Amino acid sequence: MFDRRLLKNFDYQLLIIVLVICSYGLLVISSATRGDGAESFVYLQKQAISIGIGLFAILVIISIDYLDFYRLSWYLYAFNFVCLGLVLFIGREGGGSYRWIDLKVIDFQPSEMAKIIIIITLARLLVEQKERLANPVQLIPLFLHVLIPMILIFLQPDLGTALVFAAIFLGMLYMAGVPVKNLLIVICSGIAAFPLLWFRLMDYQKMRLIVFFNPDIDPLDQGYQLTQSMIAIGSGGLTGKGLFAGTQARLQFLPEHHTDFIFSVLGEELGFLGGVFLLFLYLLLIYRILKIASFSKDSFGSLICAGVATMLTFQILVNVGMTLSIMPVTGLPLPYMSYGGNSILMNMISIGFVLNVGMRRHKIQF
Amino acid sequence: MDKEMLRRTRIFIFVVILVFLLLVSRLAYLQIINYEYYWEKAEKNRLRILPITAPRGEIFDRQGRQLVTNRPGFTVSLVDLGSGYDDETIVRLAELLEMEEEEIQKKIDLQYYRRYLPVRLKMDVDFETVSKIAEHRLDLPGVVIEVQPIRYYVLNDFAAHVLGYLGEGTVAGTVIDFWNEAGYVYREGDLVGQAGLEMVWEPFLKGEDGGLQVEVNSTGQAIREFERVEPKPGANLFLTLDASLQIVVEEALHEAVRLQWEDNNFYAGEAGAVVIDPRNGKILAMASIPSYNPNTFSEDYTTLLQSSGRPLVNKTIEEHYPVGSVFKMVTGIAGLEEGVITSTERLYCGGRVTRFGATKSCFRGTAHGSLNIVQAIAKSCNIFFYELGLRVGIDDLANYAREFGFGQPTGLKDIFGEKGGIVASRKYKEQSFNEPWYPAETMDASIGQSFHSITLLQLANYVSMIANGGIHYRPYLVDRVVDSDGNVLMVAEPEVLHKMEVMDLNWEIIREGMKQVTMPGGTASRLANLPVKAAGKTGSAQVAGRGSDIPSHGFFVGYAPADNPEIALVVFIKYGGTGGASAVPVAEKILESYFADETAQESEESSLAIEKDLE
């Protein structure tokens, strides 16, 4: 199936880092869900299966040359548009928003898939328009390219994921060589558009933002989550209370303890050292992704890697920042750690693309 | 990768490192710098104290008879077993406990964030209901029956004003410092003494609540039990009060009122009496009727507020009255001490006298003829004391009244509310009415009328002072306090507040007069047949400012045995007419009972002694 020369350039280190983080995640999920009785095992099992499927997806992705995706780009974009549109009509409701399409076996979350598709399609656009990026007016089609899926996701509503697209957009434009001045224009117009956005926000989303700036307003609801998360993490101290010994998670003071607030459980039970270890793994991961970006034989590959790196960095910053109360509550999962099949699968596929780029760094001579 | 892209990748990595440094420093801030703060918060999150109420101290009479205790009462509570409260159970319980479902739901909601605590639905549930619940316990998940102490007043409405009652509520302002000093912290809903001994002795009676430390989850369900601290029961009070005497006194007062009603005197209804030991100030009985039942106080409260006779008022200390002739010993002592009369000097009573333009008469216009001071007391001659009072003068008369403790509280600390009353004087009249004193008023003042207003406890102290030769002991109710381990925390010692300097001979003259009161021909001659010789004085106080058809207040003050006084007493029948007719029969019953008991006890003791000798 593979050319031996391809396997020679396979970045085992990157895969190992991902698998270590995934295992770390399994460990913390098992602790976080311990109080949930028999369900705990179900969570672990499901997460492990998701990781397994993810690994298989990596295998599938790396067996196809990423340049084939360059050609498929517009089909992918169209497929993505249909899925994101569909979810607004036939989506399954959960927590006040429509994010999932019920595929009987699994709940499919198009917004997770949309991230990697936008990374690929935007990379192609950037490569095509490379010569014209210095002109700010030329950024408009790129902007629209990202804005369309962003709006569809925002309508679900899922503000957090929508913001990931803004981050990916800026990160990839920067790496593509767009002048910093033009990027600033984009950022400023985004900020200027915020008041318009505000009126479109659901009440709970507004509340999240208000509470973020003043947690005491609502100590029993949104503020409660932030406060309990800080208590969990702070009370962990240097070395933590020990795995399975965290009281905040076990006694249900922490909401969403195996999904969005998994880092709080980690902080409580494994302490500062456990938290810093995870952040170090993430840093290594992103470093390796950017390393592969720099080796890539073409800028399409580099930009895919840059997009994935931006996406991961942003999600880590927002998720961990949320548990530490330096970011608002947005409901973004922590990559490879949070429980959730869609997030695991899509993050694995993203890594698949990075590995793909890395494997095909040299032009192969037949 | 081109050069520009490589440069940008480096900057990108640099930004990523900055992001991670930001997260790490925030992590260090929370976990290393503020570790202790958050650790404490996490502990506070998960640990709760379930209070265990300390059994309240009991109250005993002087002979160790139980007056106030705690009986077990059933409290029906609902516990969250982990899956919330069952709707069906609430419906069934509402029916069994005869409560509204909404009422139960409200109680549950009030404790929403304290689910580790059982929700107390109903206290003191009767046995029948409890057995029904026990039968259906399988259909009533989460329902628990707790045994909680309920305060029980053994004597019901006897001695209620002394003992007081408990109630839920804020700590009364007057005693808050007292309680805080004793180191007690009160929670909302705690039962607190609201009157009488229960109020003043609250810090001793309350004890120290225990607690059970439990670990709770975020919904407040108790997950695990930790340390248990047993409550320390409150200390027990041993009183100077004699329960059997108290019952005799109250029943006699009720009888006296009943007799007034039989005579169609429906003004009567309130009455009071105090029995005190003149050798030390121990209060043996303190009665105020109508009374109330502290066991059912909260249910009866509205009725009590509206009922005639103001049952909540302790008539022995909280009110003062014109006292009439029982005051005459003050005038007598003043006259003898000031040397304006001797024991042998006789004054003439023609039944009527006109002085300073005012014509005043003896009781029912009786002419007593010529009499000395002893006879004047025995016959309660007004004319004699008018003359004597004029000789003494209002200023000295007021001074002697104050010497006897009138015009200020006697110093009872064991219960609250003692009033000081009024001594008629120039100063009082000037201050209250802005008018000068008229000599004719001195005549009224010298027979206990005019502005004099005196509490029953003051009268009891006054007659004690006559009996013991002028010593004002602080009256007291609590003899000793013993904690639950049997350690004596406090023993009351008799406390002399004031010693009145009067020649022994003069005391003897007055006492002789009081002895003759109870002899044939005296105003309380029916006391002549008692097993011991009693001394005393009757009084019939006219009520100022009311129509003349209103009966006067009936009084009797006295002590016995006359030669070696053991008890002093005052009896008061409001609007009871003459003291001789209304108050003296009550005094007779009190003295009869006291000395019957005492002779019985003595004979028992002596027979025990004989038995010992025989052995």
> B231 and B275, same structural domain?
no
Q: Which long-range contacts (CB under 8 A, 24 or more apart) does B134-140 make?
A: B136/B92, B136/B96, B139/B89, B139/B92, B140/B89, B140/B92, B140/B93
The predicted structure's pLDDT at residue B174: 44
In a domain, B3, yes or no: no
Check whether B154 has a pLDDT greater than 60: yes
B14 touches chain A (CB under 8 A): no
A156 touches chain B (CB under 8 A): no
Interface probe with B: pick from A235, A294, A316, most Cβ of B within 10 Å: A235
Share of chain A above pLDDT 70, in %: 92
Q: Which residues of B touch A286 (CB under 8 A)?
A: 13, 16
Q: Is B389 helix (H, G, I), strand (E, B) or coil?
A: helix
The predicted structure's pLDDT at residue B31: 95
Query: Is the distance from CB of B43 to CB of B214 less than 8 angstroms?
Result: no
Please state, in angstroms and rounded to a whole number, the distance separating the CA atoms of residues A49 and A29.
14
Q: Which residues of A touch B3 (CB under 8 A)?
A: none
The predicted structure's pLDDT at residue A215: 54
Closest residue by Cα to residue B556 from B531, B524, B593, B529: B524
Q: Which helix (H) or strand (E) holds B603?
A: helix B584-614
Q: What is the 3-state secondary structure (H, E, C) of B118-168?
A: CEEEEEEECHHHHHHHHHCHHHCCCEEEEEEEEEEECCCCCCHHHHCCEEE
> B494 and B411, same structural domain?
yes
Q: Which long-range contacts (CB under 8 A, 24 or more apart) does A188-197 make?
A: A190/A166
Min mean pLDDT across A60-64, A69-73, A238-242, B40-44 is at B40-44
| DSSP notation for A31-86 | HHTGGGTTHHHHHHHHHHHHHHHHHHHHHHHHHS-HHHHHHHHHHHHHHHHHHHHH
**CATH code at B164?**
3.90.1310.10
> B178 and B102, same structural domain?
yes
> B264 and B153, same structural domain?
no
DSSP symbol at B230? -
B22 touches chain A (CB under 8 A): yes
**Model confidence band, residue B83 (pLDDT cutoffs 50, 70, 90):** low
Tell the residue number behind the tokens 């029956």, with chain if given.
B145
Closest residue by Cα to residue B65 from B283, B239, B284: B239
Residue A125, both tokens: 């656009």
Interface probe with A: pick from B31, B32, B215, B221, most Cβ of A within 10 Å: B31
In a domain, B22, yes or no: no
Min mean pLDDT across A58-67, A174-183, B216-225 is at B216-225
> B254 and B189, same structural domain?
no
**Model confidence band, residue A219 (pLDDT cutoffs 50, 70, 90):** very low
Does B216 contact A251 at a Cβ distance shorter than 8 Å? yes
> B321 and B291, same structural domain?
yes
Check whether B511 has a pLDDT greater than 70: yes
**What does the pLDDT look like over B526-548, one tens digit per residue?**
898 888 999 999 999 888 665 56
* DSSP 3-state percent helix, strand, coil across chain B (nearest 5): 40, 20, 35
More confidently predicted of A302 and B221: A302
Q: What is the 3-state secondary structure (H, E, C) of B351-371?
A: CEEEECCEEEECHHHCCCEEE
**Model confidence band, residue B81 (pLDDT cutoffs 50, 70, 90):** low
Min mean pLDDT across A117-131, A294-308, B81-95, B454-468 is at B81-95
Min mean pLDDT across A151-160, B258-267, B526-535, B581-590 is at A151-160
DSSP symbol at B59? E
A295 touches chain B (CB under 8 A): yes
Query: What's the mean per-residue pLDDT of chain B?
Result: 87
> B283 and B168, same structural domain?
no
**What does the pLDDT look like over A19-32, one tens digit per residue?**
999 999 999 999 88
The predicted structure's pLDDT at residue A365: 47
In a domain, B489, yes or no: yes
Tell the residue number behind the tokens 């709006």, with chain if given.
A151
Does A177 contact B12 at a Cβ distance shorter than 8 Å? no
Does B46 contact A251 at a Cβ distance shorter than 8 Å? yes
> B579 and B527, same structural domain?
yes
- Provide the number of CB pairs (under 8 Å) joining chain A to chain B: 129
Q: Is B248 helix (H, G, I), strand (E, B) or coil?
A: helix
> B344 and B398, same structural domain?
yes
The predicted structure's pLDDT at residue B601: 65
Q: Which long-range contacts (CB under 8 A, 24 or more apart) does A47-53 make?
A: A47/A339, A47/A341, A47/A344, A49/A341, A50/A340, A50/A341, A50/A344, A50/A345, A51/A19, A51/A22, A51/A26, A51/A344, A51/A348, A53/A341, A53/A345, A53/A348
**Residue B350: CB atoms within 10 Å:** 13
Report the residue of chain A nearest B41, measured CA to CA: A231
Q: How far is CA B388 from the centre of its chain?
A: 39
* Angstroms from B164 CA to nearest CA on chain A: 44
Report the residue of chain A nearest B224, measured CA to CA: A251
A272 touches chain B (CB under 8 A): yes
Question: What is the mean predicted confidence (pLDDT) over B359-363?
Answer: 82
Expressed as residue numbers, the domain containing B592 is 243-300+308-602
**CATH code at B545?**
3.40.710.10
More confidently predicted of A204 and A275: A275
Question: What is the mean predicted confidence (pLDDT) over B594-599?
Answer: 79
The predicted structure's pLDDT at residue B306: 87
Q: Which long-range contacts (CB under 8 A, 24 or more apart) does A77-80 make?
A: A77/A117, A77/A118, A77/A121, A77/A145, A79/A117, A80/A110, A80/A113, A80/A114, A80/A117, A80/A118, A80/A121, A80/A149
Q: What is the 3-state secondary structure (H, E, C) of B258-327?
A: HHHHHCCCCCCCCEEEEEECCCCCEEEEEEEECCCCHHHHHHHHHHHHHCCCCCCCCCCCCCCECCHHHH
- What residues have CB less than 8 Å from B279, skipping those under 6 apart? B468, B494, B565, B566
In a domain, B39, yes or no: no
Check whether B125 has a pLDDT greater than 80: yes
B219 touches chain A (CB under 8 A): yes
DSSP symbol at A137? G
Closest residue by Cα to residue B76 from B132, B124, B115, B137: B124
**Residue B357: CB atoms within 10 Å:** 8
The predicted structure's pLDDT at residue B270: 94
**Residue B328: CB atoms within 10 Å:** 28
Min mean pLDDT across A93-102, A142-151, B169-178 is at B169-178
Question: What is the mean predicted confidence (pLDDT) over B240-267?
Answer: 93
DSSP symbol at B232? B
The predicted structure's pLDDT at residue A32: 86
Does A320 contact B37 at a Cβ distance shorter than 8 Å? no
Please state, in angstroms and rounded to a whole number, the distance separating the CA atoms of residues B530 and B160.
29
Q: Domain total for chain B?
A: 2
Min mean pLDDT across A110-119, B160-169, B175-184 is at B175-184
* Angstroms from B94 CA to nearest CA on chain A: 31
> B285 and B170, same structural domain?
no
**Model confidence band, residue A33 (pLDDT cutoffs 50, 70, 90):** confident
Question: What is the mean predicted confidence (pLDDT) over B206-215?
Answer: 80
Query: Is the distance from CB of A146 to CB of A313 less than 8 angstroms?
Result: no
Interface probe with A: pick from B23, B46, B213, B217, most Cβ of A within 10 Å: B23
More confidently predicted of B85 and B410: B410
Q: What is the 3-state secondary structure (H, E, C) of B404-433?
A: CCCCCCCCCCCCCCCCCCECCCHHHHHHHH
Selection from A240-254, B67-81, B176-190, B489-503 with the highest mean pLDDT: B489-503
In a domain, B157, yes or no: yes
In a domain, B280, yes or no: yes
Selection from A33-37, A220-224, B414-418 with the highest mean pLDDT: B414-418
Does B38 contact A230 at a Cβ distance shorter than 8 Å? yes
Among partner residues A250, A272, A317, which is closest to B27 by beta-carbon distance?
A: A272
In a domain, B580, yes or no: yes
Please state, in angstroms and rounded to a whole number, the distance separating the CA atoms of residues A301 and A298.
6
* Angstroms from B9 CA to nearest CA on chain A: 7
Query: Is the distance from CB of B39 to CB of B111 less than 8 angstroms?
Result: no
Does A175 contact B9 at a Cβ distance shorter than 8 Å? yes
Min mean pLDDT across A118-132, B3-17, B172-186, B485-499 is at B172-186
Please state, in angstroms and rounded to a whole number, the distance separating the CA atoms of residues B384 and B346.
9
Question: What is the mean predicted confidence (pLDDT) over B69-89?
Answer: 78
> B269 and B182, same structural domain?
no
Among partner residues A252, A286, A293, which is closest to B16 by beta-carbon distance?
A: A286
A327 touches chain B (CB under 8 A): no
The predicted structure's pLDDT at residue A134: 83
Please state, in angstroms and rounded to a whole number, the distance separating the CA atoms of residues A142 and A182.
13
The predicted structure's pLDDT at residue B184: 60
> B252 and B235, same structural domain?
no
Check whether A18 has a pLDDT greater than 90: yes
The predicted structure's pLDDT at residue B546: 56
DSSP symbol at B528? G
